[in-house]
Each structure stands twice: as C-alpha cells, then as structure tokens.
Amino acid sequence: MSKTYRIAVLPGDGTGPEVIREGLKVVQAAATRFGFKLDAHTYDFGGERYIRTGEVLPDSAVGELRKFDAIYLGAIGHPDVKPGILEKGILLRLRFELDQYINLRPVKLFPGVDCPLKAKGPAEIDYVVVRENTGGLYTGIGGISQKGTPNEVAIQSMVYNRFQVDRCLRYAFETARKRNRRKTLALCGKTNVLTHVFDLWERAFHEMGGRDYPDVKREYFHVDATCMWMVKNPEWFDVIVTENMFGDIITDLGAITQGGMGIAAGGNINPDPGGVSMFEPIGGSAPKYTGKNVINPLAAICAGAMMLDALGEAKAAKAIEDAVADVTAHKVKNLGAGKMGFTTSEVGDLVAVRVAG
C-alpha cells in the first residue's frame, strides 16, 4: 500500500491560489513518480471570506488543521482589509497555536538566476536561516496607554525564555550537522544593545554548542553586520539562527539575493513528534498581479518541495529542486512577476514535466 499524506491547502489571498495551484501540480507529479498519494483538503480562509462573513478563522479551524500531516499555504493579506487583521488572525495565529516555533528559510541562488550581488553565483549563495517563530516582539506583549494624548505611551517587548531559545538553537545546531557543509552555525543578535535578550541567547548558544555539538563551529554576528555580510560575503554562511523579528528582516534581504520573492520559500515548522508544519512562499499576496497568470510560482513550488522533505519524501523533494534548477538554468531567468517570459501555469508545467521524469 502506498502512503497517503493528508494536506490542508490554504490558498489564501491575492496570487496565493494561482501559485498554490502550480505547486500542487508539481507536488502531485512527484507523488505519481515516487509512489505516494496526496489527500488534499482546501480551506477558504483569507480576506474574501473575512469580508463576506466577518470571520477570520473559525474556532474549529485550528483543531481541524492539527489533524493534517502538513499545511500548504499560499498568501495572506488583502488590500481591502486593514493590515494586521488577517496576518495576525490567520498566519501568526496558526504559527502560535500549532507551535511552529521554527521558520526555516533557505537562501539559495538557483543556476541561471539574475543575482543583484556582483560576482556571486550559486556556489556563494546557499545557506539557511533558522528564524525563531513564536517568540520575541511577535508575542504582542505590551500595550498603549493614554492613547491620543501628548503623553501617549506604546510598549512592545522582546520576550524570550530559556526554553524557547534552547529549542530553537537545538534545531539550528541539528540543521548545521545535517547539512554537513561548513558545519558552521552563526548566531545573529545584538549583544551590544539588547543586553538582556541576547545575553540569554549567547550564553545558551555557547553552552549547548560546547556541550552537545562540538563538531559544529560557532560564530556570532550583530544583526546589522549580518545584513552587510549577507551582501558582501554570503559564502561565509551555512546556517544562521536568530530571533523572530531579526529573522523576518534578514530573510527579505536574503530573498532578494536569491532572485527575489518569486523563488523564496519557507517552512513554519513544529519539529516535535506529532507537530504539524506549514509551508509557504514568503512573498505575500501581490494584489496587483492577482488573476493575471503572471506571478512566479517557483517559490510556492519550492515550498512544496520543503513540505515533501519534511514528510519524509526526500527523493521527491530533491527531484523538485533539481527540476526547478533545470528550469532556471535553461528557461526562466528573470524571476519577476510579468517578466518571466512564461505564464504562471507554463512555469508550473515546465517544472512538473521535469519532475514526472
């Protein structure tokens, strides 16, 4: 009997449905070739549903999503909905409630892709960022008082406990070991200013590394310097681990060095036994390109590959990555929406045909 994976599909807003359609096409081609099945259930959470019903995420949704093997997400964010409502109510809520405490974001330049960094190619740009995904400023701890008066005060705190830091670091060290490249883990922080939070991160980093991962080299960079080196010497990096907000910011920088949002994928991962993880292109809903069949689906396709890898289908994941590399090397060089020289569905077909073998 072949294995069947139950996948919750959340196409979401804007161009989300278009890219997820191509992603599913490719993932399905991999399933056929490698002998497993996908049982996909689609949910309509997103801006349109919110505008229609006033409901962001029904109460039953989180419990239902918990029963799937993985979640495949398109994009969240709608031009007619105030920023924050959908992002917090769907994306961040799922990350928190499903305890997806890792956001894994590969920064990989595929062959043939136009890179904005001078004299850097696929050999120089190939690392992963492990972003802590459920703590820090994103917890929303804080508040406003005396709103609207000259004395107004707003506070939003960067909150971390040892448990959160340790579990994120452990995943990062394991990732460096598993990648088995330069076996180097770089902690990205701000120990010179955020002397409380990054004192904790730095101590935990060296304690765990020295004790459990003597084979993994440890490095430290301030977040501002990290940005500089990601541009100047990206080849220094193998695995970067960082807190939530810093990770959000540096992975947009990372994305542009790999050709932009058209190809940047990520996984919101709960690595614990029974944990449900969620995979997504990191680029957002791109409202102005919606429905035009011009958006680049490669990021969603790469997110699909990450999903299969997490499900234990490493060969299928690798086949998708290889197919994407072949397509960027020989067909789609400009990854920008409307500039690919192919439609969204044509790019999906190019990859799917190669995956099918």
Q: Which residues sit at the interface with ligand IPM, rule CB under 6 A?
A: 87, 91-92, 248, 282
Q: From Mn ion, ligand IPM, none, which one binds at residue 91 (CB under 5 to 8 Å depending on kind)?
A: ligand IPM
132 belongs to the binding site for Mn ion (CB under 5 A): no
With contacts defined by CB under 5 A, name the span among 87-95, 118-126, 131-139, 243-251 that binds Mn ion: 243-251
Cβ closest to ligand IPM, residue 112 vs residue 284: 284
Cα separation, 84 vs 199, whole angstroms = 31
Q: From Mn ion, ligand IPM, none, which one binds at residue 104 (CB under 5 to 8 Å depending on kind)?
A: none
- Kindly tell me the sign of the dihedral angle through the C-alpha atoms of 181, 184, 187, 192: negative
Q: Which single residue brings its beta carbon nearest to ligand IPM?
A: 87
Q: Which of 248, 280, 313, 321 binds Mn ion (CB under 5 A)?
A: 248
Rounded to the nearest whole angstrom, what is the least distance from the CB of residue 72 to ligand IPM in the complex?
15
Rounded to the nearest whole angstrom, what is the least distance from the CB of residue 111 to ligand IPM in the complex?
26
Beta bridge partners of 70: 7, 277
Q: Give how many residues touch Mn ion by CB under 5 A.
A: 1
Rounded to the nearest whole angstrom, what is the least distance from the CB of residue 260 to ligand IPM in the complex?
14
Distances from the Cα of 16 to the Cα of 73, 340, 342, angstroms: 8, 18, 18
DSSP assignments along 176-218, one per residue: HHHH-SS-EEEEEE-TTT-TTHHHHHHHHHHHHHHHH-TTSEE
Rounded to the nearest whole angstrom, what is the least distance from the CB of residue 306 to ligand IPM in the complex?
14
Cβ closest to Mn ion, residue 23 vs residue 284: 284
How many helices and strands (H and E) does the chain possess?
Answer: 12, 12
Rounded to the nearest whole angstrom, what is the least distance from the CB of residue 334 to Mn ion in the complex?
23
Cα separation, 194 vs 192, whole angstroms = 6
Write phi, then psi, for 340 (nearest 5 degrees): -75, -20
**3 state DSSP class of 267:** strand
The contact set with Mn ion (CB under 5 A) reads 248
